[in-house]
Chains A and B, each alone.
Chain A
Amino acid sequence: MKLTTFFTSVAAVTGILVGGMTTASAESTLEIVKKRDHLRCQIGKPSPGFYTIDAKGDWDGFYVANCQAIAAAIFGDKSKVKYQSVGSQVRFTALANGESDLLSQSATMTMSRDSQLGLDFLQTNFYDGQGFMVRKDSGITSALQLKGAKVCVKTGSTSELNLADFSRKHNLKISAVTFEDFNVRDETYVKGGCDALTNDKSSLAANSAAFPKPKDHLILPETLSKEPLGLVVRQGDSDWANLVRWSLNAMVNAEELGVNSQNVDEMRKSDNPSIRRLLGVEGNLHDGIGLDKDWAYNIIKQIGNYGENYERYLGNGEKALGITRAGTLNALWTNGGLLYSPPMR
């Protein structure tokens, strides 16, 4: 905890220092990135579904694909990215000091982080929330039945604080069993050391794949916290923030319009003015963010739309975590979710 506090305060100081410096500099982030000919994208320590190293040694994952999308928009080539993988303690500092151009990590947007670190949190592209997992044979079906239960939780995380809040609010007298390492936490839970396990629901789903018998476990319906996760850039370069924001919006918009990596070439001939504007066939949306006409076409052609990306890494794809999207906050607004891209016109 102390270490984390230290790093956060360092990040804050860094943000202020860099914020002062950026106003003085003449070169925009986009110019620097173009001159360097690759994007520096900061991702997290390996975590299934979000950023993983495969046995060949390549990076892959939901947030890695976000980096690739930005690279595809700028260079027309999704491979022009260099990844930096840092832990959550130093992630904000490593963005604020200019080591990376953007942070594509599961960083929860909070008011204090957005307003105090000299960083801009762009809009959310994954909604997570903390939940509980229990053994099916325990007969528990609601978190409110966890009275006096022992719950395994990772130490120093917001999950620990949320658990304490939840226990107090509902007078459940939950006793938290804390762990430094999530592998040990999961193993203790599986071996019966705790009655329940708490973490972000996406991670619960991911980690249960590691259990000897995943079907014996159940995620309870209650959600304890709001975890809006999105991309982060340095404050002080609004043009760069626009570029990143609209690149992600383009993916959501493409899904809404039914454009995907398979049909994008045909869709260029579409009569729908929204699709024509998105793919750069007409209009001049690209002028505002300083890219080529084909920027959004390249994203969709090389990475796919939001839905494809979700299914490939988090949904029901072959190498995905298996978190069903329908009915969650991560569905499109037209399907009752929260994903909503402002109009691109």
Chain B
Amino acid sequence: MAFVKKEITHARPAPLSERSVIGWMHKHLFSSFYNSILTIVTLYIIYITTKGLWVWGIADAVWIAESRRECFDISIDGACWAGVIAWMDNIFYGRYPKDELWRVNVGILLLIVWMLPLWLPRVKGKIFIAITLISFYPFLANYIFLGGESSFFSQFMVSAAIVSFVVIMLNAIIGVIQGQSISTFIATRLGSSLKSEKSQRNLNLALLIITFIIAFLWQQSWVLGEVPWTKWGGLFLTLVISGIGIATALPGGIILALGRRSKLPVIKVLSTTFIEVFRSVPLITVLFMATTMFPLFLPEGFVLNKLAQVIIAVCLFNAAYMAETVRGGLQTIPKGQYEGAHTIGLGYWGTMGLIVMPQALKNMIPNIVGNFISILKGTTLVSIIGLFDILGMLSSVSRDLSWIGLHKEPLLFGAMIFFILCALMSKYSRHLEAKLSTNRKT
């Protein structure tokens, strides 16, 4: 019978109008008369903007010069990037002594290395990493950045930070190679000689104490000259302030949001008042009150650390904003989840910590990251009250006599730095969303 085809008919490629470049252009750019006009106008605008930027910023730009006058002599219409290059250290580190810049780099590098295991899937004990990071790293960073005489307490915390860092690094290496946590690794290596859990715990403790003593003795030999905070500045200062702000905003916001939804009237009223007061006042006013008005209420001659005041103000302000984001997230959780938690016998903290928060936080990721980005950008307000953060440094370039009036190039450079930082944050948030998304996708 010849009615049935013997061989399989292969699928034909899509018509040319669907897959060729011309077809795509016809469909997306020139589908109608008006769309064609729009496309041409837009292309023209893109062309002149890019061309202008190219000619000003790259083709006619001056990269090597001693002063703005020299830039003008070389090219009168081009950008003068030489000024930005000359000020690079100031833009990144502020007035931090130039011989000590390695300290800032080491401090930031330590933070990155400390956090790295958090992203490695095979590493165990991530909660430990996060807790030590929040409780010990700030003391270590504080000592590295500030230097000078340190108290016994701070030496103690610095040693604790060193010990945790060593443990985390070993744990991460063992995790990647063996897929075990460090304590299991030690236990299996020693084999049957240590059977009971108790003796294993004692051994771990002994190891920790020995490392601690070594670390304590080692850190006593450190000699770091004092760099007062007044010398901090640039991107470094921006990252310090916004980093602390970001690290405290979420926990603070969660506590405040739970407080606001609490059934206990005192906690509820206090949280609500705090949130509403801070949310109804602009950040610059909070900063101004904290740095300029607050000292009035203190005894005379008692001068606080302005940086600390600013950081506290930024933290309180952002915690209040974050609280409302968290509250919004809590409201997306249906009542059935609470009831379900109660039926399996969970109390308040169990319900919140195991059932509600994990779901709510996942829903809130875009908002939380949005908040983080606005913290980073909002920090530039501190340049108004006399701290030289990155914006303060960028605008100081135009007042250096060698580079006088040079304001577009530094600000453009600053915009690029902010764009990179914010884009990274938002990219990471999308990655996190995709990773955490369950099949409840809509």
Contacts and interface: CB of A to CB of B under 8 A. Distances in A.
Interface of A: 10, 14, 17-18, 21-22, 25, 27, 32, 40, 45-49, 52-58, 82-87, 89-90, 93-94, 97-99, 181, 183-184, 186-187, 206-207, 209-212, 319, 321
Given A52-B401, A87-B384, A97-B295, A58 B300 contact: no
B219 interface: no
A186 B405 CA distance: 8
Interface stretch (B83-91, B116-124, B310-318): B83-91
13 contacts: A22-B300, A27-B300, A45-B396, A53-B396, A57-B90, A97-B295, A98-B301, A183-B408, A206-B401, A207-B405, A209-B69, A209-B404, A210-B68
A47 B399 contact: yes
Interface in B375-413: 384-386, 388, 393, 395-396, 398-402, 404-408
B400 A99 contact: no
Given A25-B300, A90-B292, A209 B401 contact: yes
A207 B68 CA distance: 12
Given A57-B90, A87-B386, A99 B72 contact: no
A83 B230 contact: yes
Contact of A183 (B72, B86, B231, B398): B398
B296 interface: yes
A183 B230 contact: no
Given A209-B401, A319-B401, A99 B87 contact: no
A277 to B, nearest CB: 34
Contacts of A27: 300-301
B175 interface: no
Contacts of A181: 407
B94 interface: yes
Nearest to A38: B228
B35 to A, nearest CB: 37
Contact of A82 (B228, B398, B402, B405): B228
Listed residue (B93, B95, B386) with the most chain A CB atoms within 10 angstroms of its CB? B386
A27 B400 CA distance: 39
B400 A55 contact: yes
Contact residues of B: prevailing secondary structure: helix
Nearest to A83: B230
B100 to A, nearest CB: 11
Nearest to A183: B407
B76 interface: yes
Nearest to B402: A55
Given A57-B233, A99-B306, 8 more contacts: A45-B399, A53-B393, A53-B399, A53-B400, A55-B87, A57-B96, A93-B292, A98-B300
**How extensive is the interface on chain B, given as a class?**
35 or more
Given A55-B400, A209-B404, A97 B292 contact: yes
B195 interface: no
A212 B72 contact: yes
A46 B303 contact: no
A182 B396 CA distance: 12
A56 B231 CA distance: 12
Nearest to B69: A209
B95 A14 contact: no
B98 interface: yes
A293 to B, nearest CB: 28
A98 B301 CA distance: 7
B290 to A, nearest CB: 12
B288 interface: yes
Contacts of B288: 90
B293 A97 contact: yes
Contacts of A40: 303
Contact of B230 (A56, A82, A212, A319): A82
Nearest to B72: A212
Contact of B385 (A18, A86, A210): A86
B413 to A, nearest CB: 15
B391 to A, nearest CB: 12
A143 B296 CA distance: 47
A58 B94 CA distance: 10
B76 A48 contact: no
A273 B276 CA distance: 69
Contacts of A32: 301
Contacts of B398: 183, 210
Nearest to B284: A3
A49 B401 contact: yes
A54 B400 contact: yes
Given A32-B301, A97-B292, A46 B402 contact: no
Given A27-B301, A84-B386, A209-B404, A52 B76 contact: no
Contacts of A98: 295, 300-301, 303
A86 B296 CA distance: 18
Listed residue (A22, A32, A46, A86) with the most chain B CB atoms within 10 angstroms of its CB? A46
A57 B399 contact: no
B235 to A, nearest CB: 14
